[in-house]
Amino acid sequence: MPEEKEIRLGHRDFLGWILKGGIAVTLVGFIFPAITYLLPLTHQAPVGSMIDVGMEGDIPIGTAKKIISGGKVILVVHMASGFKAFSAICTHLGCIVDWDDKKHRIACPCHAGFFNPEDGTVISGPPPKPLLSYSIKVVNGRVMVTV
């Protein structure tokens, strides 16, 4: 009889180790993913409907920056009169417009449509409507576009 009990105890001990280990694994399995979930993201979190374009100094006057965020392509232009932001989708056939460094205009590469970088209106070419514009603000040197 005592022999039997010992064997059973040995067996129980083995089960005990599995149980203890399993519970430990379960706990780690709960806590570890939660911590990774909490890790700060290098990506830009949705700050309201604002998109952080970057530092003011990154975009000198007379240049532009294209950003892609939330399925939208936005062209930010730094004019002498301040920052402007437009949807970079051309109103003609939906090409992505770009900043023309030499002409200081927004140009569509597809059909030579030109837009006024001050207000997005069509200067020349086939686009039927002005570019959609977004409001843009500079807060503490950071350029923020409101979508």
Partner 1 sequence: MSKDKIITWLGERFDLGKIQELIGKQVNKPLPKNIGWLHTLGSMSLFLFVSQVITGILLLIYYRATVNEAFESIKFIMTKPYLGWLYRQVHAWGANLMIMVVFLHMLRTFFMGSFKKPRELTWVLGVFLFIFTLIFGFTGYLLPWNQLAYWATTVGTEIAGAVPIIGEWIKVFLRGGTSVGGETLSRFFVVHVIILPWLVFFMIGVHLLLVRMQGISTMERVDEEKKLQMGEGTPFFPHHILKEGIVFYLLIGILITLSILMPFELGEKADPLQTPHAIKPEWYFLPMYQVLKYLPKLLGILILGIAPLLLIVWPFLDKTKARHPGKRPVSVGIGITMVILIIIFGLLGYWAESKRIIFGKEYEFDVYGKPHRIFHETKK
Partner 2 sequence: MNTKIRFVIFMLFFWTANSFFAPSAMSNSCLKCHVDYFEDMKASVHSKEEIFCDSCHGGNATQKLQKDAHDVQKGYVGVPDKKMVANICGKCHADVERMNFFGIPTDQLAQYKTSHHGRGLFQKGMNDVAVCSDCHSYHDVVKVNDPTAPVHPLNVTKTCEQCHGNEKLMNRHNLPFDIPEKYKNSVHGKALMEKGDTASAQCVSCHGSHGANPPQVNKIVSVCGKCHINERKFILESVHAKLVMAGKFPECIACHRNHDVGPANLEFYELMCLKCHQKTDSALIQGERILTLLKDSERMMKSSALLVRQAGIDGFFIEDEEAILEEVKTKTIEFRPLQHTLDFEKISKLHVELKAKNDEIDSLLKRKRKDRHARKLALVFIWIFISIMILTLWKRYKQYTRLK
Binding site for partner 1 (CB under 8 A): 33-34, 36-39, 41, 43, 45-46, 48-49, 70
110 near partner 2, judged by CB under 8 A: yes
The pair of structure tokens assigned to 82 is 């301040």
* Cβ–Cβ under 8 Å, residues 19 and 106: no
d(CA 132, CA 114): 14
Smaller CB distance to partner 2: residue 31 or 68? 68
If one asks whether residue 25 binds partner 2 (CB under 8 A), the answer comes out as yes
Per DSSP, 16 falls in state H
Minimum Å gap between C-beta 88 and partner 1 is 20
Residue among 6, 68, 135, 146 that touches partner 2 (CB under 8 A): 68
65 binds, among partner 2, partner 1, none (CB under 5 to 8 A by kind): none
Structure tokens at 16: 């005990």
Q: How far apart are CA 26 and CA 103, in angstroms?
A: 63
Please tell me the distance from the alpha carbon of residue 60 to that of residue 67, in angstroms, as a whole number.
Answer: 16
Which of partner 2, partner 1, none does residue 38 bind (CB under 5 to 8 Å by kind)? partner 1
Q: How far apart are CA 142 and CA 80, in angstroms?
A: 17
Residue from 71, 80, 81, 102 touching partner 2 (CB under 8 A): that is 71
- The span of 18-26, 30-38, 54-62, 135-143 binding partner 2 (CB under 8 A) equals 18-26
- Report in angstroms the alpha-carbon separations of 72 from 80, 86, 90, 98, 143: 25, 10, 12, 14, 17
Q: Which residues make up the interface to partner 2 (CB under 8 A)? A: 8, 12, 15, 18-19, 22, 25-26, 68, 70-73, 89, 93-96, 109-112, 125-126, 128
